[in-house]
Amino acid sequence: MTNIVRSPRASVDTTSAQFAQQHAGKILGEDVAAGQPMELRPDGKLWRFAGTANSVFFGIAPRSGRTGQPMTAYGLSTQFRAADQTLTIGKTYFLSDTVGEISDTAGTKDANGSFFAVGTSDLIVTRSFGKVG
């Protein structure tokens, strides 16, 4: 399993974001970086995706944020810059077993895939708001 190298310019595509699933009004439980997958835990806060018990994959972070700040998670159908010219178009990508990362192969936290590469830098969220195990 190899994690993709997240782009320092990770960001949400504003055109797709208009029509994508959005989850507003949540507070960050820890610092997150733009483009990181997040989970919603029973405490009602957003955390970097770790696949913890009773948590659900909730979407990706559209920007970087600090603990305690509000954040809107962008879910299903969101296109976002994830890497810099290293993705394989048409390939499925997965929530990594490494906290807050995206992998190029299935692991124990995501066996089916949650992202699809539509460019060498861009992914689309294809699964969100639920258990992915």
Domain residues for 56?
Answer: 6-131
Q: Is the pLDDT of residue 128 over 80?
A: no
Q: CATH code at 65? A: 2.40.300
- What local confidence, expressed as pLDDT, does residue 130 receive? 54
Is residue 41, in this structure, part of any structural domain at all? Answer: yes
Q: Is the residue at 1 inside a domain?
A: no
**What's residue 132's pLDDT?**
47
pLDDT digits (tens, 9 = 90+) for 30-73: 999 999 999 999 999 999 999 887 778 999 999 999 999 999 99
How does DSSP classify residue 130?
Answer: B
Q: Which residue has the higher pLDDT, 54 or 83?
A: 83
- Provide the pLDDT confidence category of residue 10 given band limits of 50, 70 and 90: very high
pLDDT, the chain, mean: 91
**pLDDT at res. 55:** 78
15 found inside a domain: yes
> Domain count of the chain?
1
